[in-house]
Structure 1
């Protein structure tokens, strides 16, 4: 698994955090499959670390709802249903759409323009098929935009929702270039907000979240299909 390599772990940052990031990357790329049980020693061997930081990292992911502990066996990657996808999208829509309207009405042009490098990084990453940089820039853009509303608790809630919205198999969608149109919506949103077109900005955010929901569904379907092929080939 490309994202579970020993060279991906360095001593420069906390080992537990490094391992958790590597496991998240493997989840996103579809290398760790929903419904499959993985043991800490097996993952540790692939990462070139001891089992202890892997167990600690897995407990962090369990608190985020990404995996669940299986007694005496390891951890199972949790599966997300269509209802889960709909529920997450509904909550984010209820929060982010009106917040974008508020920010468009109150933020300065300088505050909004400061987000343009992130919006452009998202597009560049999508065009370059770099899914991890895409997600990192996307995460920062959304949370920094929402932070302009001045409510840190709101930002915390959305950050938690984003963690739980596992983008299983997103790597395969990225290879087809399907992330580019979603990426470009960030630039469109920023331009509408800067122009003071509040209703259109809200509509853009609503459309963007619906687009993301579709990507979640397609990515998960690909991951499940790939897992089925693996089971049948054994």
Structure 2
């Protein structure tokens, strides 16, 4: 992280994910910025310039501008002419609406996956469930969000409907988890993190009523964490 570049622009130093040489720079930066948005590292209302973010990542400004334009198309940021990009904020009603939609989609979809998936298909998700707990205990916000994304999207991928996965991915991106830093400091993330392995165990056991109860409670728990983090 380049704190000098951030301070020169009057912006607090950011805890951004590292950029690695596996995908195109544009894809890597888009992914890293989206993760930072979801974790609340990039704050609503603040204008971030492409050169400053590029210095944080150690890349040129071009892939950062391209990535931000991709995020603007998704409604996550807005262009501020001659200045950079402003993070779009969310209202409490927005968060309630996103939670309602996720419950309508993910509860029946998760129960369906529990019906059709084999233990051999479900068991690999345990790795991500445990990574979520490890990240929560370590206060690793980006790691928490990334492992959580892999768990839930990997689970839904077993449904066999790619449009379902894309829809939930979009909802997760839009309902970023503001306030996670305060929750980590208060040791309030662990309970939510531990719910993933409980859900996985119920799915492997094919206890469908318990699966429905756990995924519904988990989504409600996540919404309460948002509310607590915004206080």
For the superposition of Structure 1 and Structure 2, which TM-score range results when normalised by the shorter chain? Answer: 0.7 to 0.9
Show CA shifts across 1:203-223 (max 9, x none): 11001001111222333x26x
The answer to whether the 8 Å contact 2:36/2:142 transfers is no
Aligned partners of 1:22, 1:98: CA distance in 2, in Å?
Answer: 30
Report the 3-state secondary structure (helix = DSSP H, G, I; strand = E; otherwise coil) of the residue aligned with 1:115. helix
CA distance in 1, matches of 2:194, 2:207: 18
Q: Where does residue 167 of structure 2 map in the other structure?
A: 157
| Shift in CA distance, 43/106, structure 1 to aligned 2, threshold 3 Å | closer
**Of residues 46, 66, 74 in structure 2, which corresponds to 1:64?**
74
Structure 1 residue matching 2:78: 3-state secondary structure: strand
How far has the Cα of 1:145 moved from its partner?
0.9
Residues 169-194 of structure 1, C-alpha deviations (whole Å, 9 max, x = no match): 32332232211111111011111122
- Asked if structure 1 preserves the Cα contact closer than 8 Å seen for 2:35 and 2:145, the reply is no
Shift of 1:22: 4.2
1:227 is aligned to: none
1:119 aligns with 2:133: no
Question: How far off is 1:9 after superposition?
Answer: 4.3
CA RMSD of the aligned region, Å?
Answer: 2.2
Q: Distance in 1 between matches of 2:116 and 2:38?
A: 35
CA contact (8 A) 2:34 2:173 kept: no
Distance 1:193 1:103 in 2: 8
Q: Within 2, Cα distance between the matches of 1:27 and 1:193? A: 30
Question: Which stretch shifts more, 79-88 or 50-59?
Answer: 50-59
**What TM-score comes out, normalization by structure 2 length?**
0.84
Contact 1:121 1:134 (C-alpha < 8 Å) held by counterparts:
yes
Q: Is the 8 A contact 1:34 1:77 kept in 2?
A: yes
Of 67, 89, 95 in structure 1, the residue corresponding to residue 99 of structure 2 is 89
Q: Which runs of 5+ in 2 are unaligned?
A: 1-12
Does the aligned pair in 1 maintain the 2:68–2:77 contact within 8 Å? yes
Give the equivalent residue in structure 2 for 1:230: none
> Which residue, 128, 148, 166 being the options, matches 2:158?
148
Q: Distance in 2 between matches of 1:114 and 1:11?
A: 25
Cα pair 1:4 1:43 within 8 Å, conserved = no
Partner-residue secondary structure (3-state), 1:72: coil
CA distance in 2, matches of 1:167, 1:201: 24
Residue in structure 1 matched with residue 3 of structure 2 by the alignment: none
Say which is worse superposed, 53-62 or 40-49, in terms of deviation: 40-49
Task: Identify unmatched segments of 5+ residues in structure 1.
Answer: 223-234
Partners of 2:131 and 2:145 in 1: CA distance: 10
Give the whole-Å Cα distance in 1 for the aligned partners of 2:212 and 2:192.
16
How far apart are the structure 1 equivalents of 2:66 and 2:155? 32
1:206/1:55 CA distance change after superposition, 3 Å: same
